[in-house]
Amino acid sequence: MSEEQTCQRCGETVELSQEDFELFERMHPECFHFAFEHDLNKPGLSETEDCGDPACPSA
Ligand SMILES: [Zn+2]
Ligand SMILES: [Zn+2]
């Protein structure tokens, strides 16, 4: 049996290998981005705006 992996940020199920899930601090890659990377350069940046990171889900 595999335990369900739940995102620490949005609460949705995360379909990643356990290794990748741990790598992203138990979040979706995009939730990890918003939590730790998205507003690094522009503090307070809205999640709907592109932060300039090529990996940004809002780009
Ligand atoms: Zn999430
Ligand atoms: Zn971003």
Domain ranges of the chain: 1-42
Structure tokens at 15: 């379909």
Which residues are in the CB-under-5-Å shell of ion ligand 1? Answer: 7, 9-10, 28, 31
> How far apart are the CA of 1 and the centre of ligand 1, in A?
22
Q: How far is CA 24 from the centre of its chain?
A: 7
Model pLDDT for residues 3-57, shown as the tens digit of each residue:
799 999 999 999 999 999 999 999 999 999 999 999 998 999 999 999 999 989 9
* 24 CA distance to ligand 1 middle (Å): 10
Cβ atoms of 32 and 48 within 8 Å: the answer is no
Judge whether residue 1 has pLDDT over 90.
no
Q: In the prediction, which pLDDT does 35 show? A: 95
